[in-house]
Amino acid sequence: MKKSSEIAPGWIAVDWGTTHLRVWAMSGDGVILDHKTSDAGMASLSKDEFEGALLRVISEWLSELKITPVVSCGMVGSRQGWVEAPYQVVPCEPLKNAKFAVAATRDPRIKFYVVPGIKQDSPADVMRGEETQIAGLLAQEPDFDGVACLPGTHTKWVRISAGEVVHFSTYLTGELFSLLSSKSVLRHSIAQNGWDTTAFKGAIDDAITKPSAIAGRLFSLRSEALISELSPETARARLSGYLIGLELGAARQYWLGQKVVIIGEEKISDAYYDALNAQGWAPVKYDAELMTLAGISSAYLKIRL
C-alpha cells in the first residue's frame, strides 16, 4: 500500500457516528486505496469542530488542484451533528439524492455531503446510518424482498420490498445489555467476555415463550451467583438471551415467515443468527462495514451522475 501522502482518491467515504469516525480513500471506480479511523465521534464535537476533526484524518489525501467529494452517513447528519440532513419518510428508497445535505466548509479542497436518514411517523421511529447499509444490501441484491435485522446498540428490524424501506422498528437491546452488564448490580455476576451457547438458547426460549416472566429473571442472575455459583460466562449468555429473546418476541411480525438477512458485526450477528436459528430460521449474514461502504458508494454514484 502507498504512503497516505501519495494517495490521490477520486472521492472519500465517511461513516461518522456518535462515537467513531471512519474514512476510506476511494478510487473513482470503487477500489479502497486507504482506510483510517478516529475516535472523534459526533457526540464529542461542537458545530465548528467537525471540519477540523475531518481534515485531521483526510488532509493528506487532498489535492490543491481539485475538489474531492466526501460522502458521509451517520449521526453527523442529525440536528446535533455538523449539518442536518432531513429525514426521508417511509416508504422510500434509501439515499434519495435529492435529500443529500451539503455542509459549509472553509477548506476549498472538499465538498462534504451527508446522506438522509429515514423516519416513520407511526409508530414513530428513526434511523441514521442503517439506511446506508440497506442501500448497500440493495446495491448487491437489487431484488431483495424480505427483512433486514441490523443488530447493535439500537437494533433495527426493517421490512424491504421493491427497493424501498416499507417500515421498521428499533429496539434498545444492545444498550440495555451494556447498561445491565456494566452499570447495574448484575455487573458483579457477569463476565465481560465468555459465552455459554446452551444457556443463551435456553434464555431465548424462555423469553419468547414467557415474556411476562423475564422482568423477574434479571435479578436471578445476581441471586444465583450468590447462592448457587452461577458462572459469570453463563450469566452473560443468559442476560443476552433474555434481552434478545424479548426483542424477537416483540419483532415476531418482522421475521416470522420472512426471508431474513442480518447486517452487523461478527459477534453480535452470530448471536442473532443462533437465536433465529433456534426458532427454525437460517438468516444470511452480511458484514456491517462492507454494507456501509457499499451504501456510501451507491450514494457517490448518484452524486456523480
Q: Which residue ranges make up the site for a second copy (CB under 8 A)? A: 119-121, 123-126, 154, 169-173, 175-176, 179-180, 183-186, 211-216, 218-220, 222-224, 226-228, 230, 243, 246-247, 249-252
3-class DSSP state of 276: helix
Between 141 and 175, CB nearer to a second copy: 175
Query: How many helices and strands in the chain, by DSSP H and E?
Result: 9, 14
Tell me 121's DSSP state. T
Dist CA 233 CA 178 (whole Å) = 15
Residue (68 or 173) nearer to a second copy, CB: 173
Residue 243 or 268 with smaller CB distance to a second copy: 243
- For a second copy, give the closer residue by CB, 11 or 222: 222
Q: Which three cell numbers stand for residue 122?
A: 407511526
User: What does the alpha-carbon distance between residue 215 and residue 47 come to, in Å, rounded to a whole number?
Assistant: 41
Rounded to 5 degrees, what are φ and ψ at 252?
Answer: -50, -40
Contacts of 52 (CB under 8 A, 6+ apart): none
Nearer CB in complex with a second copy: 38/184: 184
Side-chain half-sphere of 284: how many Cα atoms within 13 Å? Answer: 11
Quote the strand ranges of 65-179, DSSP E: 68-73, 88-89, 101-103, 110-114, 118-120, 125-127, 146-150, 155-161, 164-171
Measured from the CB of residue 45, what is the shortest distance to a second copy in angstroms? 17
Give the nearest distance from C-beta 129 to a second copy in angstroms: 13
Q: Closer CB to a second copy, residue 222 or residue 236?
A: 222
